[in-house]
Amino acid sequence: MLHEERVDYKTLKSWALEAYYDGCRDYAIAKGLPYSHVMGYVLYAFEDGFERPLENLMWEVINYILCGGWFQEGGEVLYKRIKEKMESDGIEEIFSELTGEEREEFLRDLKIINSEANKFPISPGSQ
């Protein structure tokens, strides 16, 4: 059963950054482990995913951005998931659930990912 309200993009980013902070503190600094372990910690924190496809797509985008090019293997896996979700759900369907500032912010993040290597299309109608 779905909760009434969808988790918004800002909240998902907050959760990801909290897990990222903990991972940096507990693994990178305290144990000297590499960045891949920090990102593994972030991904593991919500390994069961979310209830809605849009929430899962947003989570993948957030984590792809957190990889920041420093964790190439993880970034490639996340990119593949993002692309598959966008192709299966359709960009128009994805953006139909978003409004206002949340829509603008998520679109900006997708455009940044897209401009990195023109990896997937964002149609003009979704802007």
Block means of pLDDT (10 residues each) for the chain, 127 residues, are 79 97 96 93 91 93 92 89 86 86 94 68 43
Residue 121 has a pLDDT of 47
Query: What distance in Å separates the CA atoms of residue 20 and residue 99, rounded to the nearest whole number?
Result: 27
Residue 125's pLDDT is 43
Contact 113, 69 (CB under 8 A): no
Quick one: tokens of 114? 């897209």
- Do residues 124 and 81 lie in contact, with contact meaning Cβ atoms separated by under 8 Å? no
Domain locations along the chain:
9-122
Ramachandran class of 90: left when φ > 0, alpha when ψ lies in -120 to 50, beta otherwise: left
Amino acid 100: pLDDT? 94
- Between CA 112 and CA 97 the distance in angstroms is 20
Q: For residues 82 and 57, what is the distance between their CA atoms, to the nearest angstrom? A: 6
Give the whole-angstrom CA distance, residue 90 versus residue 18: 30
Residue 90, pLDDT score: 78
d(CA 117, CA 78): 15
CB-CB contact of 126 with 107 (8 Å)? yes
